[in-house]
Each structure stands twice: as structure tokens, then as C-alpha cells.
Structure 1
């Protein structure tokens, strides 16, 4: 009996600290989860402040504009505001509740486009319409901010467009009215509005956080379910032992595999570059006016262990390993060797080569190109340079190199335009030749998406600045017609051809016959 009691007491003495530790761990986990949710809410408030700051700066630019309302100069200024401000979808003028004109609508006077009374007005004179019917009859409403006869249009969802892998509920609320303005998909707006109005009415199965902006008249409400390990703390001890071993072993093995894979991939790429095993495929570029194939873009391809490595992973590994300069040189050599005969016999045909941002800080690649090209019989205009908008982050360093390419006769294109860091001032100062509309904007043509109006904006702005336009990712005839009608000159995409090896490209060009119109 004594032995049994001793064992029992010893067991209790051993278990009590464990139980206490589990309880303390539960409380600590509860505190951390609440702080984690509060940090998420603060990040969401910062997102709202960025959106509203962008809108207010747009209004201030319009207020400083001196051209008469809706004159050609005023309309150009409105388009400039809509294009250069990331979150602004439209910019316009109004008299009372009547829309006069805007960047998207043009001259709207007499078309009966009216606005309701503002939902709220702040002390700074800014007026807010939280849910206005879209003038294009799109199902998603607009959020308008205006003052002194000017207004900008925002997508309400941009206020809650926060990266969140945990899929927490999130809503934006007007401080002036207590009204819910926007909510993430899957969020119950009624519940969020109720929690904002009555924070004490909360259930025990969720965490809540409400954070008010110090500079803008908005707040956010966010909610997340309590963790299963916290709410079921008696299971924690067993789960720690069982799942800890299992997850730790699996995570260690997975980490080792991933690390070894990345190092082995980098080593293999170094070896492939050394052996000049990087290949180039060519995607045809078509003139929309007459369907001629006027050129092609040179695209990297690399096969490793019998499988094609994705271009994104290839560029990531190459950049980390410092191999981009060597790869760019090999791409140029492949172009001159692969399709040099076609370029010599077709002087109007060109190939565009992507140049890494690091090669826009020095004359290195420019000197390589100028050394390779003479004596080949290939004209400077037949080798065109594509740069990304990241070059604008090193604006002063890149400006001279870009101009050197153009002075030498190589047209310069901005690739994937609209996804990076460009602004109107950079476009005006850099003096490039063409903009390439990113595939993500081409994909939204004909759809009800927040970015569906970006492509026409880019085309209009390019025309005003004297640039040509190449649309990437064209896959359907309807997209091609839409782009042609709005003035885009060129297109590339699977509608015409995927990227092809050099011999397949030549066969494609020999078989390609322009047609008068895409039916």
C-alpha cells in the first residue's frame, strides 16, 4: 500500500508542474494570438491610410490644375491623376451632384450621370460617398472622395486588400458614420458592424481587434477563431509529445531536402552556364493592323534533370548566384547564331532581348553588344532592349545607359508595364520607345475586375507620350480586337504562338501569312 501511495504521490508531484506549465502556456498563447491579431489590424489600417493618402494627393493635384473644367488640358490632367496614382481608378469634375467629365468618361455633361448626396463630410472639406453605382453598370460599386468640385473614384476592396494567409475576417468602417465601407470576401459584414458598434458583445470562440486610424476617418475590425490547441489545453501534453516528434522529423527532413535542392539547383545552373547549355526560345510579335509578324522576344529556357525549370525559378536562382550577366551575354550570342541568317535576310524583323537591371548601372552589356554586332550584317534596330520597371529604382544610373542604347540605334521597351515602380515623371524623362502591357492586365479585358480598365489607360498614356504599345499574353481574338480598337499596335501571346525554338520559329515565319483582319 505504501509503495502504491508513494508511486501515486510521485506521479502527482511530477504531473502538477506539467499541468501548471500547460495552463501558463495556454495563457501565453492566448496573449500572443491576441497581439498577433492586433498587429494584423494595424497593418490593415496602414493599408487604408495608403489608399486614402493616394486619393487625397490626387485631389490636391486636380485642385492645383488651372485649365478650365473639362477642357482638353484638364482632361489630360485627370488622366494623369488616374494613371499615376496606384489606387485611383478614375478622376473627375462635378457641379453639385452632376458629373461633368472624368478620365474614363471623358465629357459626361448632359448624359444624366448624377451622384447622391455625400454620406459624410470631414472638417477638411473632403466628402465621401461610400457606395456609388458604377457609371459603367459594373456590379461592384465605387467609393468616391471629393472636394471643391473634384473627385476620385476608388475600389472599396482596395482598402481591405491585405495579404493574409490565415484568412481572418476584416472590414473597414467609417468613423464618421459607423457604417461598414468594405469587407474581405467571406467576412460577415453584419457581424463586423455589430462588433464595431458594441465591442463588449463578443463570443468566446473568436478573438477581435478594432484599430482606428490616427490620420484618416476610418477604422478596421478584424476577427479570428481561437486556436484549437489553446481551447483544448488538456490535450496539449500528449500533442506536444506525439505531434512534436512527427512534425519535427518531417520538417527537418523537408528543410534538408529543400536546402539541398536549392543548393544543387544553383550548382547545376552554374555548370550549365559554364557549359553554355542555356537555350533561347522566341515568341512571335504580331502587328495588329495587318497581322504581320514583325519580331520576336528572346526568352530563357533551361532543362534540368529532364524537366524544364520555370523561368521565374531560373531567374531567381541566377540572380542569387550572380549569373545574370553571363546568361544575358549567352542569350545575345544564341540570338546572333540561331536566327542570324533570318535577321540578315529580313532587315525589318527584330528580336528583343531582356536586360537585367544590374546591366543598366554600367556600360558592361552595352559594350558587349557593340562589340558583337559589327560585321554580322544585322542592323542595330533589329536588336531591341527590354527593361523592367525596377530600373526606375536606379533612375539616375540607368538613364545614361538607356539613352546610350537608343543613341546606338537599339529601341528600348519597358517590359511588364504597370506591375512595378514607374511613374509619369520617369516615363517623361527616360525617353523609351514602347511599353509592353503586362499579361495580368490583358487577362482582365472583358471581365468585371478592378484592373480591367488599366490596359486602356496605359494605351492612352503611351500615345500621349509618343510611345508604341505591345500587349503581352493575348490568348483570344476578342482581346486582340479590343486592343486594336483602342490603339495598341502590337501583340504577342498564345493566340499567335507559344515561345518556339529557333528552327521552329523559322518554320513559323515561313508559313505565317498576314490576314487583313482577325475574324
Structure 2
């Protein structure tokens, strides 16, 4: 399994675990939130019913002073109470023997036998019953007076049913008004059920919540709250667990997109950490396998003829995370860890595959390769250079002064390469510490003027005289010159006047990919380059022989 595949697997595992944790947390939060909504709904309904029951209780308590003889003031009081409270359809008085002797219609003759009043002075209920007066199911709320007479109110069962009716959008299993002693439902909507293995009733506390398996084999959340105005009754609301977490299509889509986003980010993060933690050589070797390195070619232009006479080969890294990286980001590390060998061979092979052969390029074309002391002693690299020499008209190795002088045996290696037709150039000349004796002892063919000296042209600084000294010294030693970093026409003219005709820099072209370089080469060599840049044609002709001396 490759490291990237391993990272993909790890990222998938992390994302799944993360979303499982988030899902469980969210599931619990949503479940608790919906349970809280059920509780709030229940308490709201209990509050509404309580208000009505308290009004009924107050009306019954005021009837304590009523005479059971049903005189006119008593009838008027009861009729007004029925009129004022829409829940009550009738008020009656029952004597201590259980005989209904009076109601809002008048004195009953003969009295109607009912249940004997119990000696409790709290509000209580019984029923439902079928009222002779209403001819419909009713619910009785009663209270025993201190004279042992009972005052009761007849409440239609439909009123209670409407009080506990839920909105259509509420997905509860059932809502019911139940007896708090037995759990028997008095009024209900939905299919009533109770827990299998837990006895809830009798209930003496104000409220109770329960979660578990019910006798309809469904797992439910249940909340019970007592009516404070009528403690013998309570409201029960139950909801299936599956209704507490209702899947929403939009949320599923959002969750899926978040999952993909998290997964992608974690994969990228792991790959990035791998790149940071792995040594540079491992990164470069893997990048070579993935074909992430590619060549660019910066042209050499002969300013005396306007022709492209060669190119320096540079490399770029198409990094999967950092994007395109220039050589400054990876060449120093590659030189330290030894992967510069694989990179350099890759560079040569790319050039052979991308550029035309010597027959198409012309006999003066030079391919310039950057090298160092380590590469000089590698047989694999030398073989790759000779392979390039067989493909291109000429090949130049560019080395810094440090690379040439720091190795005791470098002179021998350079001599061997020079004997096989490889040209040797000193790159960034003037920035190192070479002396005349080294330029004479080593097979140096060409000097590349460092761009810092070229940049000093036209400026009053200490480097300006050094440039002239370098040019004079090269002329005296018979060394060819190339000027790097030519960016302005002022620099171009000055170098030309000094007899330095081979230029490299952005004034002519930035480094180009293979196909773009070939197009540039073909186009520029079709035209008189100096005429397009305002340089006299006769000057070009007169200086051509001098240019050949400096670069061939």
C-alpha cells in the first residue's frame, strides 16, 4: 500500500469516526431538544386546562352558600355561572344521601339518585356519564361542602377532547388525560400504551418522564404532568423514539457534502504532513516517479545576429500541494541529500525527448546543463551527459567556481569531459574566489557574467568597474562570455559595445516549456532580431566575426 493510499484510508477512518461522534452528539442534542419540545407542549396544554379547571373550581366554591331549596337567587347564580363558563353545561346540588335535588333548570321533583358524596373537600371527578339533560357523554367535577352536600359541574367530554387536541404537524404517538392513581385514560388522542416492565402509576409527584419499551413494542419517550387544580388527573404525552429524530433530505445532503469536504481536507492535510515530515530525498524521488518535474529552457541570443544559439536547461517542480516551485526551493536540498543525481539525469532525458535533434537545431546550438562537483564524479551522470552530446550539436556543463575548485580530482574529470567534446563553463563568474591560475589550469571554455554585475550597468556602484575588468580578463585569456540577467535595452547596448554578444535574460525571453521554446526558436531565427530592436544592420555585420570569437 502506497503512502497516499494509506493516507486515504486513514482519512476515511478519521472522517467516519468524526462524523460518527458528531452524529451521535447531534442525535443526542436533537433528541433532547425534541424531548424538551414535548415537555413544553405538555406543560402548555396542562396550563390551559388548569386555567379552565380553576375557573370551574372557583364557581363550585362560590356555590357553597347556595340554598339546596333552589330559591330564585340560587337558580340565578347557577345559571349565570353556566353562562359565564363555556366548559360547564350544568351545575347541580346533591344532598348527603346522593340525591340530585337541584340544578340550573330548577328543583328536581322527584330528586334523581346519584352517588353519595364522599367526605373529601378537594375537587374530584367521576365519569364520564350519560346525562339525562344533555343526552350526551359528560364528565363530572365535584366538591363536597362542609354541610356534606355536594356541588358538581357537568362538563361535556368533547370539551376535554378539544383541550388536548394537537396540531397536525405534531408527530406524537398519543396524548391523554389519565387517572393519576390507576393510569386509566379518561380522554385520549392516538393509541394509548404504557411501559412493559415499569409501573408508572400511581403517581404522586407533579411530573414524570420516562424512556423505554412500551406494550406496543415501540420505544417511546413519555412525559406526565399533574393538573394542579385537579390532582387526581394528569396529562400524558408519548412519542416514538424514531419520531424524535426525523430525517430531513436537505440535512442528509448537507451532511454528505460536509463528509466529502472533511475527507478531502484530511487527505490533503495528511499528505501535506507527510511531505513536511519525510526527508527531501524521499519527496524528490517520489515526485520523479510521479513525473512532477519538468524542464524549462531560457534562450541564449546572439545579439550580433539576432539568432537563438542555445538554451540553459532549468527545472520546475509541479508540487501537488505547493504548486509550481522554482529550483531555489529544491535544488539546494537535492544537492545536500544526493537526489540531485536523479534530478539531473531526469533533466537530460527530458531535454532529449522534448527538443529536436542536432540536424534540426543547427551546428551552433548549445544545450547548457547545470552541474556540481558531486555529479562530475558520478559515472551515471557522465554517461547521461555523453548521451546528450550525441543528440545535440553541443553540450555545455555550467559549474560554479566552488564546484570546480573544491574537489582535488575535479580537474581530471573536467579534462576527460572536455576531451569528449563537452564545453565547460563557470556560472556566476565574479562572485567566487577563482584566480587567473585556475582559469589557466582547468579546461574552462566559457564564463557566465553574474547578473548582479549586469544589473550594475548604468549605476554608480562598486560593481560597475568589476564588470569591465571581467570582460577585459576574459578577452586576454581567450574565454568566451555570456551575460546573464539582461533585462533592459541599456544593458543590452552596453554589453554589445563591450563585445559581449551572447545574452540571456527576460529582455529576450523568460524560461519556456519545451513546446514554447521550440516555437520561440523557430520564430526568432526567421527574423533579423537586431533590426527589430533598433541596432544598425551594418554594425551587426561588422561585429559578426568578433561574436564568433566569444561564443561558438
Task: Please give the range of the TM-score, normalised by the shorter of the 2 chains.
Answer: 0.3 to 0.5
- Per the normalisation by structure 1, the TM-score is 0.47
- Per the normalisation by structure 2, the TM-score is 0.44
